Structure formats: structure tokens, C-alpha cells
Amino acid sequence: MEPIDALTEIAELLERERSSRYKSAAFRKAAAAIEGLSPAELVDAAALRRRPGIGDRTFAVISEALDGRVPAYLADLRERRGVVVPGHLRAALRGDLHCHSDWSDGLTPIGEMVDAARALGHEYLALTDHSPRLRVARGLSPERLRAQLDEIPAFTDEGFTLLSGIEVDILDDGELDQDDDLLERLDIVVASAHSKLRMPRAAMTRRLVAAASHPRVDVLGHVTGRLVEGARGTRPPSEFDAAAVFAACASHGVAVEINSRPERQDPPDELVAVALEAGCLFSIDSDAHAPGQLSLIDYGAERAERLGVPPERIVTAWSLEALREWTGRERT
Ligand SMILES: [Zn+2]
Ligand SMILES: [Zn+2]
């Protein structure tokens, strides 16, 4: 196999299993370091080993690939990846409305997210970097978001559309952490709570109902905030009146996100049932922070299918045209 393909696939698999970002970054850096090298340059082992961006492990991967073998490190990762049998629903998905780039806390530039989305066969992807208050995630100030908006159109062509967007923080009182006129300009607004997740039930209900009722919100992100596994440990779901929150989503045409990250699995099964009953739309999103995580929608699709969510109520199974019609809906 081509060394660059081996390095890239390793990076993607490390991202998908949510290893330390430094690990996958090393493989991405090595792939960039050998991009454009001639075959003669690649086989010059001594020169290659000295090249910036190539370390012992990445050098070994390149050598094994050049020898015509599947590098052992890659073989291990492939085996660990396991098999998610993609059901009908996964095949019906056409895009993703929630991901991050290195403008906020994502691992790579926008272009690498777009390349990975295209490789998955997506027709569209919304870039939804964080909002200003989320400082730990380098949330975008209004100025930086405006600058990002200038870059977005260049990633769209006949076969693929990069939608502009934001994952805007829901503040304690239910207000959104970005200027309304700027939210107005975006294709997709995902609203999520990232702080004070243990608020009393009544206050949390008011907060989420306010967010779901905001005229610029399209998707309510990882609604309970729970963490069920993984490096960050676990966290119980926020407490709120789910029937009231999902009723607000349904009446404002806001989609409830089915967050595909295995550590989130948000909303929990029983709340997906409440949202279904309330008549909500859904958006199956990856919340990818690296290219290799866009494929995590496999898990969200598997859950949605198991829970009986009909494809016609999943906005990410819609054509771009239908999606645009929905985002352009009459807002109240
Ligand atoms: Zn989030
Ligand atoms: Zn996110």
C-alpha cells in the first residue's frame, strides 16, 4: 500500500477510537511530511529518517508499506476497529450538521474535515465550531467567526456543500452565546449546554425550552450532556422536563440531535422515545473533532434504527434541497 495512505488511515482509526489527539496528529504530520515525495526520495531511508515530522514509529510504518506489507500498527488498529454492521438507516444518511475544525478545539484544518466527509460520501457537512464563552475550546469571537465565514464557500462544489454554522453555547438563562445578526447569517445553528449541567430541574427546563424556542436555532445538541464512558469519565444526564423541552423543539421545527459519539450516546434511549412521541425531527451528528470521527455516525444510525426513528424525520437523511427548505422555514 502507499505509505501516505497507511499513515492517513492510522490517523483516522486513532481518531475514531478517540485516542489522544497527539497520537493521531503525529501520523497526520508524517503524512504531510512525505506528501509529494518521489519514489526515489521515499526509498532513501537515511534521508527519510532525518526528515522533520518523521519519527521511529511513522518511519517503521512507511518502511513496511514500501515493502508491500500492511504495517503491523495499522493491522492492529483495523482489528480493534471492530465491525458495526451498517443498517438501512446509515445508508440513508447524506450529511452531518455538527463538527469542529482547528479554528476551535478540532484537530485539523477545515479542508481535512471536508476531504474526509467527501470520502464518506456525504453531500453536505456543517462546520460548527464553538462560541466565545467556551474558552477552553477556543470558541470563536464574532470577529473570528466572520473571518471563518469568508473561507466557507471555497469548500463547496457541484458534489459537496460545506454549510456554515456554529455550536453555540446555551448560557445559564437560555440566551445564546453569539450575536443574533451573526447567527442570522449562518446556515446551521446547533445550540448546546456545556456548563452548569447540574442546574435544578425547573431552571434547566426553562433554559433548554428558551434555547429550543430561539428563532435562529436549528438543532438542540447533546441535550442531556451525559458521558457514559471514555477518557473524560462519566457524567449523569442533566435533569429537566423532557416532554416540555421536546414539545418546544417540535413546535419550532428544531431537530433533536442524536449525538453519535460513543461516550455521549445522547439523548438516552428513553428520551429518544419521548422526542419521537412529541413529533420531533432528529439530526444524526458525529460531533467530530477530527476527520476520522466523522464515521462515528455509524453508531448514531444504529441506535436510531434500533429505536425506530423513521428516516423521514431525520434531517441528515434529507437532500440538501429539503434541508435548505427546513433551515429557511418560517421562524417564530
Ligand atoms: Zn458540545
Ligand atoms: Zn461539538
Residues 101-123 have pLDDT tens digits of 999 999 999 999 999 999 999 99
Cα of 31 vs centre of ligand 2, distance in Å, is 26
Cα of 223 vs centre of ligand 1, distance in Å, is 9
Ligand number nearest CA of 296 is 2
Cα of 54 vs centre of ligand 1, distance in Å, is 33
Cα of 35 vs centre of ligand 1, distance in Å, is 33
Cα of 127 vs centre of ligand 1, distance in Å, is 13
Q: What are phi and psi of 283, to 5 degrees?
A: -130, 115
Q: Is it the case that residue 270 has pLDDT exceeding 80?
A: yes
Ligand number nearest CA of 134 is 1
Mean pLDDT value across residues 216-224: 98
Residue bearing the bigger pLDDT, 142 or 84 = 142
Ligand number nearest CA of 99 is 2
pLDDT value of residue 82: 72
Cα of 101 vs centre of ligand 1, distance in Å, is 13
Q: Is it the case that residue 18 has pLDDT exceeding 80?
A: yes
pLDDT value of residue 84: 67
Cα of 138 vs centre of ligand 2, distance in Å, is 12
Cα of 153 vs centre of ligand 1, distance in Å, is 24
Q: What is the mean pLDDT of the chain?
A: 95
Q: Is it the case that residue 279 has pLDDT exceeding 90?
A: yes
Cα of 312 vs centre of ligand 1, distance in Å, is 25
Q: Is it the case that residue 144 has pLDDT exceeding 70?
A: yes
Percent of the chain with pLDDT over 70: 99
Q: What is the pLDDT of residues 152-171, one digit of tens each?
A: 999 999 999 999 999 999 99
